């Protein structure tokens, strides 16, 4: 199969401010490459602080003067369902360009397009169903919640499954009546450039959605420090999250930080080992291993360890590596040469920290591009860097354990705490073990299957705050508490004499 450029790619990607496509100040641009050849295929506008100021001003005007925040939830919901319809109707095209831009296998990119549409449908429905409790003190007082959108939401997203990540923030921010400025990752701006037309066609008023592109240190930073942006929802690296937290603190902004992970998959001897094998292989090698919730540390009970490692290595060696647009491809090319270098450096580090049982470098037949063979290290000690640090590629560390206590200690022995997966047929153990794990989310005998009503987020270095379901509504709105006296006001009569 030859690797053909998708038809009709833009020769430049522009900013979108106040309903118009515009260049950045002074025409500044940056190169955009595709990860199979690492050749530049287009250029994108590189926003300055002044561009960010313009985008925020447009979003603020749309919030203060436009119809969006005042619309009935049903009206906004109808528009957001249209967004979902349009995304669904374009999922082939979307998957194709996402796969081209990011190196994701096309079949997996397609799943992400469907998830993006589902994010809009879910929040379009939720906002209509949403309600708050009213409380009453009989005969005296009624208290209710007046939920209000916060204003201009600053949304900053990473390059892994970019369109889906963007939708995860755009859908709740818009559904709750905010206006937004989105700053996607610089490695993958192509699919973000689809949003303006999608929103326009669906009937989102001008100024409600604004897109800025360009360096995180300039455009992202200006958004974080903008006084008219009261909240920032960020997904990305833990160190960037920490920096954003510092930069936003003088403004006392609302912050939601979805950060890195080094999640454990814990396999007990009494598990359904066939299912555990399928899931633990998929967990770290799907999406090219560029997955925040990847089960990148597999902890295996000693009595099944040797057999499990052998079967795991066999599966990893058989994974189909290929061109991102080939439906047979299971692992494609990593997003960018800098990321490829980082992952490769961990592969080299791993060779002195564990026993290499699969992969270990470039796959055969792929001398160019950002290809890394699915790599498995066994017998990895907890102090190893490949056990502790997020690699964010197709590399896994496997470690044996003897007891439940040791497994739990190993599971919790990193600075991260995003997800965890536990495989056992013992119900009591499953629950007790899950309760002991320091992570925001645990899947028992399950792959990473999301229910959008449940809280999503991490603990420790994996994040701050929760999104998902009503937690997103909470984050993107102010719950103003209103109290009404039903009878006479019971005020002590200061200054009224005796
Ligand atoms: P980065 O933290 O490097 O970048 C994320 C976004 O932040 C990009 O848009 C980036 O812009 C921007 N940015 C960078 N510096 C700043 C700054 N100083 N101020 C404001 N914005 C800034 O992460 P990656 O893009 O490399 O994404 C991978 C990381 O994301 C991994 O750690 C992964 O685990 C995590 N992640 C977490 C998820 C979760 O839900 N917990 C989900 C998915 C990924 P630019 O691209 O221009 O640098």
309 alpha carbon, distance to own chain's centre: 30
List C-alpha distances in Å: 215 to 52, 183, 221, 255, 277: 12, 9, 9, 20, 40
Ligand 1 touching residue 338 (CB < 6 A):
no
Are 399 and 410 within 8 A, CB to CB?
yes
Q: What is the pLDDT of residues 415-472, one digit of tens each?
A: 999 999 999 999 999 999 999 999 999 999 999 999 999 999 999 999 999 999 999 9
Whether residue 173 is predicted with pLDDT greater than 70 in this model: the reply is yes
Query: How many angstroms separate the CA atoms of 224 and 382, rounded?
Result: 36
> Residue 105 CB: number of other CB atoms within 10 A?
27
Going through 19-163 in order, the beta strands assigned E by DSSP cover: 20-22, 29-34, 39-45, 135-137, 141-149, 152-156
441 C-alpha to ligand 1 centroid (Å): 20
The residue assigned the tokens 């999250």 is: 241
240 C-alpha to ligand 1 centroid (Å): 7
Ligand 1 touching residue 220 (CB < 6 A):
yes
Q: 286 and 194: one domain?
A: no
Q: Which amino acids are annotated catalytic?
A: 258
> Residue 379 CB: number of other CB atoms within 10 A?
15
Helix and strand totals (H; E) in the chain: 15, 21
Q: Is residue 334 part of a domain?
A: yes
Q: What is the pLDDT of residue 1?
A: 67
Mean pLDDT (the chain, rounded): 97
Query: How many angstroms separate the CA atoms of 449 and 297, rounded?
Result: 19
Q: What is the pLDDT of residue 122?
A: 98
Q: 346 and 232: one domain?
A: no
**Mean pLDDT value across residues 44-57:** 98
Q: 154 and 250: one domain?
A: yes
Confidence band of 489 (pLDDT split at 50, 70, 90): confident
Instruction: Supply the CATH number for residue 400's domain.
Output: 3.40.309.10
Are 299 and 411 within 8 A, CB to CB?
yes
Q: Is residue 490 part of a domain?
A: no
Q: 211 and 334: one domain?
A: no
End-to-end, the C-alpha distance of the chain in Å comes to: 94
| Continuous H helices in 319-363 | 337-353
Query: How many angstroms separate the CA atoms of 479 and 437, rounded?
Result: 32
Main-chain dihedrals φ then ψ at residue 440, nearest 5 degrees: -70, -30
> Residue 271 CB: number of other CB atoms within 10 A?
23
Q: How many domains does the chain have?
A: 2
Query: How many angstroms separate the CA atoms of 90 and 112, rounded?
Result: 12
Q: Is residue 495 part of a domain?
A: no
Instruction: Supply the CATH number for residue 41's domain.
Output: 3.40.605.10
For a pocket test of ligand 1, which of 237, 346, 393 has the largest count of ligand atoms closer than 8 A to its C-beta?
237
For a pocket test of ligand 1, which of 212, 240, 293 has the largest count of ligand atoms closer than 8 A to its C-beta?
240
Name every residue whose Cβ is closer than 8 Å to that of residue 319 and which is 6 or more positions away in sequence: 281, 285, 330, 331, 374
Q: 379 and 249: one domain?
A: no
Q: 211 and 349: one domain?
A: no
Q: Is residue 487 part of a domain?
A: no
**Percent of the chain, pLDDT > 90?**
98
155 C-alpha to ligand 1 centroid (Å): 11
Q: What is the pLDDT of residues 356-389, one digit of tens each?
A: 999 999 999 999 999 999 999 999 999 999 999 9
Q: 281 and 145: one domain?
A: no
Q: Is residue 372 part of a domain?
A: yes
Q: 66 and 207: one domain?
A: yes
Q: 253 and 332: one domain?
A: no
Which secondary structure element, helix H or strand E, spans residue 182, and what is its range? strand 179-183
pTM of the model: 0.97
Whether residue 16 is predicted with pLDDT greater than 90 in this model: the reply is yes
Q: 268 and 243: one domain?
A: no
Whether residue 255 is predicted with pLDDT greater than 90 in this model: the reply is yes
Are 396 and 319 within 8 A, CB to CB?
no
Ligand 1 touching residue 392 (CB < 6 A):
yes
Ligand 1 touching residue 186 (CB < 6 A):
yes
106 C-alpha to ligand 1 centroid (Å): 23
Ligand 1 touching residue 221 (CB < 6 A):
yes
Q: Is residue 461 part of a domain?
A: no
Q: 214 and 353: one domain?
A: no
Q: Is residue 489 part of a domain?
A: no
Whether residue 300 is predicted with pLDDT greater than 80 in this model: the reply is yes
**Residue in 221, 200, 220 with CA at minimum distance from that of residue 212:** 220
Q: 241 and 316: one domain?
A: no
**Mean pLDDT value across residues 274-278:** 98
Helices 73-89, 106-129: inter-axial angle, 10-degree rounding: 170
User: For residue 291, what are the domain limits?
Assistant: 264-444
329 alpha carbon, distance to own chain's centre: 23
Q: What is the pLDDT of residue 2?
A: 79
Q: Which residues pair with 209 in a beta bridge?
A: 180
Are 145 and 24 within 8 A, CB to CB?
no
Q: Is residue 459 part of a domain?
A: no
Query: How many angstroms separate the CA atoms of 231 and 252, rounded?
Result: 9
CA within 13 Å, CB half, 392 = 21
Are 172 and 472 within 8 A, CB to CB?
yes
């Amino acid at each position: 199969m030859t690797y053909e450029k998708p038809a009709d790619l833009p020769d430049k990607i522009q900013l979108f401010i106040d309903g118009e496509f515009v260049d950045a100040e002074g025409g500044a641009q940056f190169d955009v490459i595709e990860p199979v050849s690492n050749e530049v295929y287009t250029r994108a506008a590189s926003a300055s602080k002044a561009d960010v100021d313009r985008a925020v001003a447009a979003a603020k005007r749309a919030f203060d003067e436009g119809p969006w925040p005042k619309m009935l939830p049903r009206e906004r919901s109808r528009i957001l369902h249209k967004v979902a319809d349009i995304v669904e109707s374009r999922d082939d095209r979307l998957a194709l360009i996402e796969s081209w831009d990011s190196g994701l296998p096309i079949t997996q990119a397609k799943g992400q397009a469907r998830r993006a549409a589902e994010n809009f449908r879910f929040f379009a429905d939720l906002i209509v169903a949403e309600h708050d409790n009213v409380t009453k003190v009989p005969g005296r007082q009624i208290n209710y919640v007046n939920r209000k959108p916060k204003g201009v939401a600053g949304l900053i997203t990473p390059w892994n499954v970019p369109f889906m990540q963007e939708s995860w923030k755009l859908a709740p921010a818009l559904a709750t009546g905010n206006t937004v400025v989105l700053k996607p990752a610089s490695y993958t701006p192509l699919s973000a450039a689809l949003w303006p037309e999608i929103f326009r066609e669906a009937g989102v008023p001008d100024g409600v959605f604004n897109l800025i592109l360009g360096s995180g240190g300039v455009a992202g930073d200006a958004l974080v420090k903008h006084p008219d942006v009261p909240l920032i929802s960020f997904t990305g690296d833990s160190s960037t999250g920490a920096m954003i937290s510092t930069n936003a603190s003088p403004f006392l902004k609302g912050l939601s930080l979805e950060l890195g992970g080094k999640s454990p998959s814990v396999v007990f001897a009494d598990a359904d080992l066939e299912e555990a094998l399928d899931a633990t292989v998929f967990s770290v090698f799907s999406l090219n291993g560029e997955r925040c919730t990847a089960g990148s540390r597999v902890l295996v009970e000693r009595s099944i360890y040797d057999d499990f490692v052998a079967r795991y290595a066999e599966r990893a060696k058989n994974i189909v590596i290929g061109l991102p647009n080939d439906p047979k491809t299971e692992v494609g090319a990593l997003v960018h040469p800098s990321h490829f270098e980082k992952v490769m450096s961990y592969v080299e580090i791993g060779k002195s920290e564990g026993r290499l049982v699969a992969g270990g470098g470039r796959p055969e037949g792929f001398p160019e591009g950002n290809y890394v063979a699915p790599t498995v290290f066994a017998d990895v000690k907890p102090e190893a860097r490949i056990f502790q640090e997020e690699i964010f590629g197709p590399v896994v560390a496997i470690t044996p354990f003897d007891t439940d206590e040791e497994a739990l200690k190993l599971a919790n022995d990193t600075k991260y705490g995003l997800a965890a997966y536990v495989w056992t047929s013992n119900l009591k153990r499953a629950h007790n073990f899950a309760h002991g794990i320091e992570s925001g989310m645990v899947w028992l005998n399950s792959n990473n299957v999301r229910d959008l009503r449940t809280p999503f987020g991490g603990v420790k270095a994996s994040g701050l705050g929760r999104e998902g379901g009503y937690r997103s509504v909470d984050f993107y709105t102010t719950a103003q508490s209103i109290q009404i006296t039903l009878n006479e006001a019971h005020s002590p009569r200061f200054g009224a004499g005796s």
